[in-house]
């Protein structure tokens, strides 16, 4: 059937588009090995692995790294708790205000980050809250809730409602049913949601610049290097680290939830 074959033009445009999405990132890896540190000369005049050692010994990289990991870890835990709770409420029951709540959960990620950031900044200014790790966490947890929620609610909808009833019939109370029936079934979806939330938080820069004050997370460190470059290949090494720390959880999340109608990540 000739109508079921894609034309060459379409094929080239589609695969060309996919390449366009992926090739730029490879350059980050190439430039981490260049011997040229003042310009972005292509092709690199020579290759070296010295920048990995230089980056390791740079003292200004470690504190932002630690801060980013801290913030991402705390935000992920908070988002997992809050996201699971709201998913539990929204999965099966219909109640007044349900639509409004689902809008409220999506809003922090649907509105541009600059609005979320500026809103938090305004609130801190009015209430005279000093910047700290917790002001960053406040912002991150808020937009991570939706990620965990999306994953958890999709899995809950797919689960048969009968298993909770069966558990209750067999004498389990609500908490036992949650612990021994719901949680094991929900596990991989929650893990996937948590990993995506971690990746999102670790990499976030727009909201963070408004809520961090003088503190520096790894993305903020990178942003400063992009605006005022020093040792350019070192920035590339850090970029690779950021890339890997976000990339690995995303791939894992995909494999944890693939095959379902709920594949993780469709709703960033």
Partner 1 sequence: MSATLATRGLGDKLTGLFWRKPNLLLMLLLMPPLIWLGLVYLGSLAALLVQSFYSIDEFSGVVVPEFTLRTYGELFRAQNMDIILRTLMMSASVTIGCAVLAFPIAYFAARYARGPWKAAFYLGVMLPLWSSYLVKIYAWKLILAKEGIIGWAAGATGTTPILEAVLSIPGIGGNSLSTSFLGTWMVFVYVWLPYMILPMQASLERVPQSMLEASADLGASRAQTFRTVVLPLALPGVIAGSIFTFSLTMGDYIIPQIVGTSARFIGLAVYQLQGTAGNIPLAAAFAVVPIVIMVIYLMLAKRAGAFDAL
Q: Please tell me the distance from the alpha carbon of residue 223 to that of residue 148, in angstroms, as a whole number.
A: 27
Minimum separation from the CB atom of position 116 to partner 1 (A): 8
Q: Please tell me the distance from the alpha carbon of residue 48 to that of residue 268, in angstroms, as a whole number.
A: 37
Phi, psi (degrees; rounded to nearest 5) at 34: -75, 155
Q: Does 35 bind partner 1 (CB under 8 A)?
A: no
Q: Please tell me the distance from the alpha carbon of residue 229 to that of residue 243, in angstroms, as a whole number.
A: 19
Minimum separation from the CB atom of position 184 to partner 1 (A): 18
Q: Does 47 bind partner 1 (CB under 8 A)?
A: no
Minimum separation from the CB atom of position 107 to partner 1 (A): 7
Q: Does 261 bind partner 1 (CB under 8 A)?
A: no
Q: Please tell me the distance from the alpha carbon of residue 210 to that of residue 81, in angstroms, as a whole number.
A: 25
Q: Does 17 bind partner 1 (CB under 8 A)?
A: yes
* Residues between 146 and 175 that touch partner 1 (CB under 8 A): 168, 173-175
Count of residues interacting with partner 1 (CB under 8 A) = 90
Q: Please tell me the distance from the alpha carbon of residue 60 to that of residue 58, in angstroms, as a whole number.
A: 6
Minimum separation from the CB atom of position 77 to partner 1 (A): 13
Minimum separation from the CB atom of position 236 to partner 1 (A): 8
Residue from 39, 132, 165, 187 binding partner 1 (CB under 8 A): 39
Phi, psi (degrees; rounded to nearest 5) at 259: 90, -20
Residue from 74, 133, 250, 252 binding partner 1 (CB under 8 A): 250
Answer left, alpha or beta for residue 171, where phi above 0 means left and psi between -120 and 50 means alpha: left
Place of tokens 């000093």: 130
C-alpha pair distances (Å), 75 with each of 13, 68, 71:
40, 10, 6
Closer of 24 and 162 to partner 1 (Cβ): 24
Could you tell me which stretch among 52-60, 63-71, 155-163, 200-208 binds partner 1 (CB under 8 A)? Answer: 200-208
- Find the distance separating the first CA and the last CA of the chain, reported in whole Å: 38
* Residues between 93 and 112 that touch partner 1 (CB under 8 A): 93, 95, 101, 104-105, 107-108, 110-112
Q: Does 72 bind partner 1 (CB under 8 A)?
A: no
* Residues between 203 and 232 that touch partner 1 (CB under 8 A): 203, 205-206, 209-210, 219, 222-223, 226-227
CB burial class (10 A; 0-12, 13-18, 19+) of residue 85? middle
DSSP-derived secondary structure letter, 197: H
Minimum separation from the CB atom of position 158 to partner 1 (A): 18
């Amino acid at each position: 059937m000739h109508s079921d074959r894609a034309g060459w033009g379409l094929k080239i445009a589609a695969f060309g588009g996919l390449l366009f999405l992926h090739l730029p990132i490879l350059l980050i890896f190439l430039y981490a090995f260049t011997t040229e540190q003042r310009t972005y000369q292509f092709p690199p005049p020579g290759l070296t692995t010295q920048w990995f050692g230089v980056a390791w010994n740079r003292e200004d990289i470690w504190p932002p790294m630690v801060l980013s990991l801290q913030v991402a870890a705390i935000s992920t835990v908070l988002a997992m708790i809050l996201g699971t709770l709201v998913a539990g409420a929204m999965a099966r029951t219909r109640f007044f205000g349900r639509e409004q709540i689902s809008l409220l959960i999506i809003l922090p990620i649907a509105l541009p980050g600059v609005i979320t950031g500026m809103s938090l900044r305004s609130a801190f200014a009015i209430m005279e809250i000093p910047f700290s790790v917790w002001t960053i966490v406040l912002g991150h947890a808020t937009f991570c809730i939706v990620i965990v929620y999306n994953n958890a609610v999709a899995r809950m909808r797919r689960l048969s409602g009968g298993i909770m009833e069966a558990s209750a019939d067999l004498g389990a109370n609500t908490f036992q049913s949650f612990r021994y029936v719901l949680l094991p079934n929900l596990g991989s979806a929650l893990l996937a949601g948590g990993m995506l939330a971690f990746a999102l938080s670790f990499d976030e820069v727009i909201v963070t610049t408004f809520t961090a004050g003088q503190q520096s997370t790894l993305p903020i460190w990178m942003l400063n290097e992009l605006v005022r470059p020093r040792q350019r290949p070192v920035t590339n090494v850090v970029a690779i680290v950021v890339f890997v720390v976000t990339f690995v959880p995303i791939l894992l999340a995909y494999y944890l939830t693939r095959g379902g109608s709920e594949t993780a990540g469709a709703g960033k």
